[in-house]
Structure 1
Amino acid sequence: MSCGLPRNLDADADVDADATLPAITVPPAAQAYRRGSLWQKGRGERLIELAGVRRGELVLDLGCGTGGLTQQLAELVGPGGRVVGIDPDEARIALALETAVAPNLEFQVGTAETLGEIARGRPVDLVFSNFVFHWIRDKRAVLRRLRGLLHPAGRIVVQCVSSLPVLVGELSRLADPSGERILRDFAFEDAAAIAHHVEGAGLQLIRLEEQQGTHVYPTLDALLTWWRATTHDRFDPRAIEPAALARFAEQHNEGGAFLVHETFCWFEARIPPAHAWGRRG
């Protein structure tokens, strides 16, 4: 699971899209996220292929994290296109800016509520979002907002986790018996619920697939580091009793590795043809 947007996006947050980012110290969790999100990145590269990115397009990367996929999108749209990566996490945006050299690429600290400012009046050709929607509680409201940004022929391509992986749920509750402190920001929904939200937002569902995937972590420390980064330090392995952690490791060690089995889905949505025609006029 990616940790792109760890805030509830149905809040009335307001971020100045043109504000200059202050110098900040990048915390270890953001650094760990960049190093440990290889599975998500691989799935994101597949999502880029499915999105069919074209040269000259305006692309919005919602929940861009540290910007690895955003840079790939910028290469695909070419010098005549533009890609904007948006994420509410200042530390991850700071890391993204360290390697953002392409003139057609920019990063902004913000949320779904501030996207209109970032688009600057030009219709968006593609909204791309990789492993972020499971953070969004009011998915239908966000999809409506994204619909309002689209070019009549534009599309929204999203990939997200459908349910909490059993292994990380168990791990979380070792540090937090109720699980509420660590897991409260997630808003998992299955493919059927996602389809309902898409249609309820006035969009046409073009494709929807639910799949199974597996993260492989070669050591217990690698698993703990990834989950701590994903939860923005809400998960703290130091809160786990050593004996309990040892039992967990013994129970879940599979040939020396730790496997996180995950159900996720991806979809493509567009403005219905009749509505798109009306917007052209």
Structure 2
Amino acid sequence: MSTLPVLNNADMYHHYSDVQFRDGCSVIHEMLKPKRGESILDLGCGTGRLTMQLASLVGDSGRVVGVDPDSCRIAVANEQLKKMDDIPVTFQLGSIREALPLGPFDGIFSNYVFHWFERAERAEMMHQMYDSLKPGGRLTFVLETNQPQPNAIIRDIFRLTEPNLDEESASGMKMDVPSVWLQHCSDAGFLVELSEVFRTEKAGPNLDAILQFLKASIPNFQPIKLTDDGLHELDSRYKTGNGDEVAFSLTVLKVLARKPQES
């Protein structure tokens, strides 16, 4: 069964996930382009911020399902849902296997999720997503790649907190080059219509905000392991000069793929 890592600190994640939220909104509007009346799956929906964005686009005649394996995040999402007017959103605990019976969908959206999947699970995951889509349905996802970047604060944080581990072992993220992900899409039967690799520059209000987001996002991350010297090094390297703001970069892959129409 394909699984995502169960993460803690859901409220903290909801509060500190602005960077990923902005990227997700961009991909929704520029690549997935949900239409009114469509059914959309948000795979790895977290606390549901982007799920709500999807719901606003499909309207009352549409349907959005958000799935996530973290019960705490699903609880936060459902609490947020209670504050909204009646909107066509359902949150489901689980992953793609649990979402299969809820389809078929016109589109699947996933934001900064796939690099958490174990490599041995990815082929099955792609085939399950293919099976979850209607003919002509779209798959859109965003993920981090392992291509080098010059301003990688996360890499440096793990170098300081887990000096005896490589970045993948320390973070749990299984990042690969873009061609690996595009091949997974093709092997499952998808037609890749658009793929883009870009380095995105990000900023946080301060170093603590970045550390809190990592604590909420990454299993076993312990910012307490950062020494005063380590904190000073990070501040010196990544502060922008605009107060306590810190800036960093990620190398990201965005993909739009489509399930062929039935002949």
- TM-score band w.r.t. shorter chain: 0.7 to 0.9
Q: Specify the alignment match of 1:152 in structure 2.
A: 135
After TM superposition, which residue ranges in structure 1, 4 or more long, deviate above 4 angstroms? none
- Unaligned 5+ residue runs, structure 1? 8-25
SS at match of 1:66: coil
Equivalent residues of 2:190, 2:259 under 8 A apart: yes
**Following the alignment from structure 1 to structure 2, what is the Cα–Cα distance between the partners of residues 134 and 183?**
14
TM-aligned CA deviation for residue 75 of structure 1: 1.8
In the other structure, the counterpart of 1:179 is 165
CA distance in 1, matches of 2:259, 2:60: 27
Letter in 2 for 1:207: L
1:206-221 matches, within 5 Å, as 206-221=193-208
Give the count of matched residue pairs. Answer: 249
- C-alpha RMSD over aligned residues: 2.2
Q: Which residue of 2 aligns with 1:55?
A: 36
Distance of 1:175 and 1:184 partners within structure 2 = 11
- Percent identical among aligned pairs is 31
- 2: distance between equivalents of 1:224 and 1:60? 30
Spell out the pairing of 1:48-87 with structure 2 (5 A cutoff): 48-49=28-29, 50-87=31-68
Structure 1 equivalent of residue 26 of structure 2: 46
The equivalent position to 1:90 in structure 2, one of 57, 71, 95, is 71
Q: What TM-score comes out, normalization by structure 2 length?
A: 0.87
Secondary structure, in 3 states, of the residue corresponding to 2:172? coil
Who is 1:267 aligned against?
255
1:182, 1:235 within 8 Å by CA — same for their partners in 2? no
Structure 1 residue 72 displacement after superposition? 1.4
Q: 1:182·1:231 contact (CA, 8 Å) conserved in 2?
A: no
Judged with a 3 Å threshold, the aligned counterparts in structure 2 of structure 1 residues 43 and 184 are, in CA distance, closer, same or farther, namely closer
Mapped contact 2:198–2:251 kept (Cα < 8 A): yes
Q: Which runs of 5+ in 2 are unaligned?
A: none
3-state DSSP class of the match of 1:99? helix
Aligned to 1:225: 212
Q: Which residue of 2 aligns with 1:141?
A: 124
Q: Please state how far the C-alpha of 1:179 moved relative to its aligned partner.
A: 3.4
Shift of residue 103 of structure 1? 4.1
**Which one-letter code corresponds to 2:100 in the other structure?**
G
Return the offset for 1:231.
Answer: 0.7
Shift of 1:88: 0.7
Residue 249 of structure 2 aligns to a residue whose secondary structure is strand
- Work out the CA distance in 2 between the residues paired with 1:31 and 1:158: 24
Secondary structure class of the residue paired with 1:107 = strand
| Structure 1 residue 123, shift from structure 2 partner | 1.7
- 2:112 aligned with 1:113: no
Alignment of 1:98-109 (within 5 A): 98-100=79-81, 101=84, 102-109=86-93
State the distance in 2 between where 1:65 and 1:235 align.
Answer: 18
Counterpart pick for 1:245 among 225, 231, 244? 231
- Partners in 1 of 2:63 and 2:162 — Cα distance? 43
Deviation of 1:98 after TM superposition, in Å, equals 0.8
Q: Which amino acid aligns with 1:63?
A: G
CA distances 1:32-87 after superposition (whole Å, capped 9, x unpaired): 21111112111111111121101111110001011011011112111221110001
